[in-house]
Amino acid sequence: MKVVEKKISILEIKKMAKKMFGNLVKVVIDIEKEIMIINAELHADEEQYLLERGSKQENLWGINLYLEKDGDDFIEFDSMINLKPSQSNYSRGVDNPEIQKKIIRIVNKLIKR
């Protein structure tokens, strides 16, 4: 796992991904701190790591990045940690378009493609 607080190259992420899922990395984004943690077997492991370091549950969202794809296919909003009925998120996706926009902005800010 790697916490990303400053720009990281897509090449570096691809190198990490080869050891785990190939062309896919699991990511948890903290939309308040605007950081992400990448490349664990489970989103739950990444989530736990960030919670132990002071992130708040309501700010953590799980996504997958498909490193060989572009545009809308690059980010997949799909994780069990996204099931948050208390925040009106009843799916594994990210139902709130504003939160989706924040996630996309943070990904674009932190990953150099």
Count of structural domains, the chain: 1
pLDDT (0 to 100) of residue 35: 98
Tell me the residue ranges of DSSP E strands in the chain.
2-4, 8-9, 24-30, 35-38, 60-66, 75-76, 111-112
Q: Look at residues 104, 103, 113 and name the one whose alpha carbon lies nearest to residue 7.
A: 113
pLDDT attached to residue 30: 98
The residue segments making up the domain with residue 30 are 2-112
Q: Structure pTM?
A: 0.95
Extract the residue ranges of the chain whose pLDDT is less than 50: none
